[in-house]
A = this chain, B = another copy of it.
């Protein structure tokens, strides 16, 4: 029996990515597409399809429903790709009514009893769900996934932090256009150009990373106190966020060991052989000029789910480290990560109790 899922915000850029990733998923099945302004239309008429090729046939003829609890009847999981404003209003209704809601939106990420999950990094935080249900009197639950820039960073930081204890992070990003959704960035703004600003992004990088790397203790997450300075830029790339990272660690850096810790990083999703878990969550490249977004964003056994790290090198201090990472922003940074959260939550018994 497959998990039955509804997609909220099904016609947007991330919504479309859900359809591509779940078209042939072994254990999750989309049974409802919901939208805001597009409700009532056939999916193929409501959407401006930005993926390659055509809309997966199974979904083209489905009707986009109004976003409401009654249209989720029969579903176990709600994948929300709603804009933040709408998420704030609608997601709690679904959680209250018994659904397992996995949200891409930033609306609830920083609430105390809401887990913000990257399965390989902080699956333990899913336990917050118990307190959440209890305190809020919900039959379901609400789990969030991080901002697309945070996801790649937190995955790469995790094994380094475990071994070297990270104190400071300076990160400069070069982010893909799909991160802004559709229509998103006008071509006249970005052709032959770079835009050195993405609204609210730099704040999210700091606070979300600290929450994700934090420790669960007596039903609270104690944030990991790292100083983080982020500068976020938009570049003319379709998919794949690049991040140039500088770290200061407590323990002296051994870059061979860093390489090994990153390459060999593995976690519960790998152990459970979840369908969306790549064998290597982090792939290390040793060529001087990799990762590159166009060449590496789909690397690994589950395309788009591995973070690719390259250019690992010492900084000017013996406690400083430099590297470049690439993470697919609409797969690992959005829909793919949410699907992996769901696969894990199902195994751990959080769904459909």
Binding site for B on A (CB under 8 A): 13, 50-53, 168, 170, 172, 174, 177-178, 182-197, 199, 206, 227-229, 231, 233, 235-238, 242, 244, 246, 288-296, 298-299, 310-311, 315-317, 320, 322, 324
Contacts and interface: CB of A to CB of B under 8 A. Distances in A.
Given A186-B184, A188-B50, A299-B53, A193 B292 contact: yes
Contact of A192 (B13, B294, B298): B294
A225 B290 CA distance: 31
A196 B244 contact: yes
Contacts of A50: 188-189
Given A196-B310, A294-B193, A246 B229 contact: yes
A295 B48 CA distance: 13
A295 B52 contact: yes
12 contacts: A53-B296, A174-B194, A183-B189, A185-B186, A187-B187, A187-B191, A193-B237, A195-B289, A196-B292, A227-B316, A233-B244, A246-B246
Nearest to A285: B54
A336 to B, nearest CB: 18
B229 A233 contact: no
Contacts of A244: 172, 196, 231, 233
A106 B111 CA distance: 53
A177 B172 contact: no
A245 to B, nearest CB: 8
B174 A174 contact: yes
Given A170-B170, A174-B235, A244-B231, A186 B182 contact: yes
B197 A311 contact: yes
A178 B50 CA distance: 21
Given A183-B188, A192-B294, 15 more contacts: A50-B188, A50-B189, A172-B244, A174-B174, A174-B194, A177-B188, A178-B188, A184-B187, A185-B186, A191-B236, A196-B289, A196-B291, A196-B310, A197-B288, A231-B324
A231 B322 contact: yes
A147 B68 CA distance: 46
A235 B311 contact: no
Nearest to A190: B187
A229 B228 CA distance: 16
Contacts of A191: 177, 187, 191-192, 236, 238
Contact of A233 (B174, B192, B246, B288): B174
Given A186-B186, A229-B322, A196 B52 contact: no
A311 B186 CA distance: 22
A177 B188 CA distance: 7
* Residue from the set A191, A288, A296, A298 with the largest chain B CB neighbour count within 10 Å: A191
B229 A293 contact: no
Nearest to A288: B197
A166 to B, nearest CB: 13
A294 B51 CA distance: 9
A195 B311 contact: no
